[in-house]
């Protein structure tokens, strides 16, 4: 599996399947603001905020992958379960949920089969806390 760039649950991203060209990540930390008279606002750290990843990629069904790759992403999203995210270097990113999928098709063959499919896959890190984790494990 040397061509696997990243894996989300059973979904593999790689050069011979749905390859992403760009990975962007946005992490937040929450700070509550309290206004004060005559000086700067006071800030209090309230915890870790959202952690989001967006994968932008392309599938060329004739050469690599399948016209069903993006449909597989939608099937995983519909299952509404947190999925492990592991990159090709073996780094475990934790559990993530699919929050949105965008798709663009271009260059069409006979009967409207797309020869190029671009996708945007948005993920958010899942943190159920201890109680949520117990509920997830008992599912």
What is the spatial distance between Cα 41 and Cα 22, in angstroms, rounded to a whole number? 37
What is the spatial distance between Cα 121 and Cα 123, in angstroms, rounded to a whole number? 7
| pLDDT for position 115 | 87
What is the spatial distance between Cα 87 and Cα 7, in angstroms, rounded to a whole number? 6
One digit per residue, the tens of pLDDT, for the chain of length 139 reads: 568 899 999 999 988 778 899 999 999 999 999 999 999 999 999 999 999 999 999 988 877 667 788 899 999 999 999 999 999 999 999 999 999 999 999 889 888 888 889 999 999 999 876 555 555 555 5
| pLDDT for position 3 | 83
| pLDDT for position 69 | 85
| pLDDT for position 130 | 59
Burial degree of 118 (CB within 10 A; 0-12, 13-18, 19+)? middle
| pLDDT for position 5 | 93
Sheet holding 19-34, edge to edge: 11-14, 4-8, 83-87, 92-108, 114-125, 42-59, 19-34
| pLDDT for position 88 | 92
């Amino acid at each position: 599996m040397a061509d696997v760039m990243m894996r989300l649950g059973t979904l593999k991203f790689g050069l011979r399947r749905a390859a992403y060209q760009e990975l962007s990540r946005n992490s937040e930390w929450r700070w509550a603001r309290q206004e004060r008279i005559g000086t700067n606002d006071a800030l209090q750290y309230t915890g870790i905020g959202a952690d989001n990843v967006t994968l932008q990629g392309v599938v060329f069904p004739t050469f690599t992958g399948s016209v069903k790759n993006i449909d597989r992403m939608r099937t995983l999203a519909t299952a509404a379960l947190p999925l492990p995210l592991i990159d090709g270097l073996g780094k475990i990113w934790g559990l993530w949920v699919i929050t949105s999928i965008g798709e663009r098709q271009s260059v069409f063959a006979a009967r409207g089969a797309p020869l190029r499919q671009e996708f945007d896959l948005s993920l958010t890190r899942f943190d159920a806390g201890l109680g949520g984790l117990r509920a997830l494990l008992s599912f």
